[in-house]
Structure 1
Amino acid sequence: MKLQQTTVDDSGAISEKNGIVSMDKNFAGPLFMLSAALLFTIMSILVKQMDPRYSVWHIGFFRFAGGAVILLALFGRHGNIYKGNNIPLLIIRGCTGSIAFIAAVTAIRILPISTGVVIFYSFPVFAAIFAAIIYREKIGIPQIICMLLVMTGIAVLFDFNLAGKLFGQCMALLAGAFAGLTVTLIRSLRENNGPAVIYLYFCTMGAVVTLPMFINSPVTPATPVEWVMIWGMILTSLTAQLLMNQGFFYCRGWEGGVYMSSETIFTSIAGIVFLKDPISWRFWFGSALILGCGIAMNWLKSRQ
């Protein structure tokens, strides 16, 4: 009889059995999600710090094309990675996700990074609305109250100053709306498609959408620092996406949403400390309403 060898670390979070390392789900879920949120924060900072000669279309094309190239290099040798289930919906999801990213980058480039990310995290409200439209899910009174409070938080963050950042605020809200639609569509796709296929269609459609504007006014990195920033944006976004997808294997959907909302905390700290973002009562009060009610909506959904 072959003896089994099992070792456990001091915390009990990581164990090894017969040479196979496993992680406790209570440790793995938060680890993957918080790591993804931190990497998304780094990506946002890199986008914010890029030279002004890089437009939204340039940034989008580099991110999408670079992500597609890496995925094809990693998984393409095993067969046709574009072979998926429900191709039309994969294409639609790719387009909606691309619009969300382009709108979010526009907002981040215009607004203080902390404000842009907080408004973007209103997407649970739009996800609930699209779920009611597409899947006929009922929206209860508690969810309606949360949605109204989230919209109140958005109204607080909007100063409605036509001479200021209204366009950037509207783009952040548009990004949240399309992100909510994208999250809703993924529910139908993930049943028969792996995360790599879904993400590849996202990158491919994004590259197709941004390519015409990129060709119209091409820009290439001129210094080693610019190359590092562009590849940093590509790698952090790809790694964060894969970590987030893996994290959902270890925690429930609403828990993952709560952990991912920590991106707003990381981004706000980075924006205030390093980028000198302005802070006021509008930011703190509006952020508390949006994040608090977004977390509550995820929890209420898990109770259904």
Structure 2
Amino acid sequence: MLLPSASAPVGNIEPPSADDPPRAIAFIVISTVLFAVLWVVVKLLSPRYSVYELTFFRNFFAIIPAVLMLVHYGDFGVLRVKRISGHVWRAVLGITAMMLGFASYTLMPLANAVAISFMSPLVITALSVPLLGEKVGPWRWSAVVVGFVGVLVIVNPGEGFLTTGALVAIGGAAVTALAMITIRQLNRSDKPVAIVFYFALFATLFSALPLPFVWVTPQGWDWALLIGAGLSGGFGQHFMTRAFALAPAAVVSPFNYVSLIWSTAAGWLFWGDLPASNVYFGAAIVIASGLVILWRETRRGVKF
């Protein structure tokens, strides 16, 4: 449920290959910490580098963890996928969501942006009807409606308008949902390790296209931060993938929400930002709605 900018993201997973909930929970918490490191670095570097350049470096250095995942898997034959066009489309959606997510971190407090990103499972549920032909019952539709009310509480449009940051964050969450739906479709024929590898590869290629127009040569320690951002994002994806391979989604997914703790702590530590009470209240509503959807989909046997 993390932004692929984030993060990331739910969907790049296999049915549990072993029953080890404690290790799965440890892995998912580690992944949220790594994604939080990525978000902090992006926000720190955003005054000096464009979102396009930050997106490129995040994907370029994430190739390293993706290759390590492939080597660990031990079968390069998984790269022979049925629909390479599906992976291209997933990369387009992924980097779009990533850029919107990165932009939202620069336009509003980090915790606010992360809280809004939790709406992605709600959008996935709503779009699964026309795009995947799934049936959504009253429980999940009710959760979607209540969850969107929670988003409104977070953005607090009481003065009759939404801030640019809120609109960008909402757009990022919506595109993330589209990317996750694409991953669901790819999971039917391709291995998760292949999905992760091709995303890193194509996302790097596509995010390099605008570089001639926005390039700023990194200086000094900025190189270390950029490398750290890519490795954090890539290894965060790795630990998330491993977590879902070790335990059911119903066990693992709720721990994604601890990312709100890290983003709140980082926002206060680096920028002195503390979310208003409406952000916590709205986030609680969105999280509860997401858990209801998770519960219903788990009962239906849906693979995330």
TM-score (norm 1): 0.84
More displaced stretch, 267-276 vs 239-248: 267-276
**Paired residue for 2:120?**
123
Residues 164 and 207 of structure 1: is their aligned pair in 2 closer, same or farther, counting only changes over 3 Å? farther
**Paired residue for 2:83?**
86
Distance 2:23 2:76 in 1: 30
**Cα distance, 1:27 vs structure 2:** 1.2
**Cα distance, 1:116 vs structure 2:** 0.3
**Paired residue for 1:155?**
152
Gaps of 5+ in 1: 1-21
State the AA in 2 paired with 1:272. Answer: W
Q: For the aligned residues, what is the CA RMSD?
A: 2.6
Identity of aligned residues (%): 21
The structure 1 residue matched to 2:94, chosen from 83, 92, 97, is 97
Q: Which protein, 1 or 2, shows the higher relative CO under an 8 Å CA cutoff with sep ≥ 6?
A: 2
Residues 181 and 255 of structure 1: is their aligned pair in 2 closer, same or farther, counting only changes over 3 Å? farther
**Cα distance, 1:277 vs structure 2:** 1.2
State the AA in 2 paired with 1:233. Answer: A
Equivalent position SS for 1:279: coil
Instruction: Give the alignment of 1:1-304 within 5 angstroms.
Output: 25-68=20-63, 71-72=66-67, 75=70, 82-160=79-157, 166-223=163-220, 225-304=221-300
Equivalent position SS for 2:208: helix
Equivalent pair of 2:91/2:202 in contact (CA under 8 Å):
yes
More displaced stretch, 290-299 vs 53-62: 290-299
Distance 1:159 1:189 in 2: 37
How many aligned positions are there? 282
State the AA in 2 paired with 1:247. Answer: A
Distance 2:291 2:24 in 1: 17
CA deviation string 1:254-297 (max 9, x = no partner): 33321222212221232234431132222121111111211221
Distance 1:132 1:24 in 2: 32
**Cα distance, 1:69 vs structure 2:** 5.6
Equivalent pair of 1:85/1:189 in contact (CA under 8 Å):
no
State the AA in 2 paired with 1:147. Answer: V
CA deviation string 1:41-71 (max 9, x = no partner): 1111111111512010010011112223664
Distance 2:161 2:145 in 1: 25
Equivalent pair of 2:78/2:191 in contact (CA under 8 Å):
no
Equivalent pair of 2:65/2:238 in contact (CA under 8 Å):
no
Residues 74 and 290 of structure 1: is their aligned pair in 2 closer, same or farther, counting only changes over 3 Å? closer
TM-score (norm 2): 0.84
Distance 1:300 1:79 in 2: 36
**Cα distance, 1:212 vs structure 2:** 2.7
State the AA in 1 paired with 2:48. Answer: R
More displaced stretch, 225-234 vs 46-55: 46-55
**Paired residue for 1:13?**
none
State the AA in 2 paired with 1:287. Answer: A
Distance 2:214 2:94 in 1: 23
Distance 2:268 2:69 in 1: 37
Distance 2:267 2:191 in 1: 34
More displaced stretch, 285-294 vs 196-205: 196-205
State the AA in 1 paired with 2:92. Answer: C
